Amino acid sequence: MSLLIFQIIIKQWDKGENTPLHQSDRAVMPSVYTVTTKPAFDVFNQPCILEQHGDDIPTNMFSDGRIKTAVLSNDRVRFDRFQVVNCSHGFVLEYIVKGKDAQRLGQLNQSWIQSRYNWRYSVLEAQQVYWMYEEVILNATYMETFDADYFLKTEPSVVFNDL
């Protein structure tokens, strides 16, 4: 059974968790996991797994969690800062930053893609404003035959960093 797999890892911290000890703790956290989630929906008539690991601390800005998904058209699906385009030559992963053109990362049917970015945003909690920092990692692929340990056993064909 062929399927699309998107594994998202979120590492979140606030300003008080930016000491060298906190940084080293985050650095040893895995950037790939065994896929344990079953397909929950279809994208482009293909079963799709959207699996999340790590932190997703609810805040006033993201009360239902950070990852948002949207079907943009029959051939485009977006989640978080990523867009999957159904092209004649396969599924293409793009990275989107507000105010810039989409950046093509590669085809999902040619091994897998790992992408990561950092960002920060302000949070208002208990009448206090503070900064929430994040590193977000996306592992994405299109598989002809499911292999739960695929991300662990192989190297990505594309590694993209917007840090």
Nearest to 90 by CA among 100, 105, 101: 105
| pLDDT number for residue 59 | 61
pLDDT, residue 104, reads 95
> What secondary structure, in 3-state letters, does the chain show?
CCEEEEEEEEEEEEHHHCCHHHHHHHHCCCCCCCCCCCCCEEECCEEEEEEEEECCCCCCCCCCCCCCEEEEECCEEEECCEEEEEECCEEEEEECCCCCCCEEEEECCCCEEEEEEEEEEEEEECCEEEEEEEEEEEEEEEECCCCCCHHHHCCCCEEEEEC
The average pLDDT across 73-96 equals 91
In this predicted structure, what is the pLDDT of residue 72? 75
pLDDT tens digits for range 104-153 = 999 998 889 999 999 888 887 778 888 888 899 999 999 999 999 999 99
Q: Please give the pLDDT value at position 123.
A: 80
Residue 65 pLDDT > 90: no
Q: What confidence score (pLDDT) does residue 126 get?
A: 79
At 146 the pLDDT is: 94
User: Taking the CB of residue 162, how many other CB atoms lie within 10 A of it?
Assistant: 13
Least confident range from 34-48, 80-94, 119-133: namely: 119-133
Put simply, whether the predicted model's pTM sits higher than 0.85 gets the answer: yes
Identify the band that residue 37 occupies on the pLDDT scale cut at 50, 70 and 90: very high
- Mean predicted lDDT score pLDDT of the chain: 88
Least confident of 42-51, 67-76, 106-115, 145-154: 67-76
Q: Is the pLDDT of residue 60 over 60?
A: no
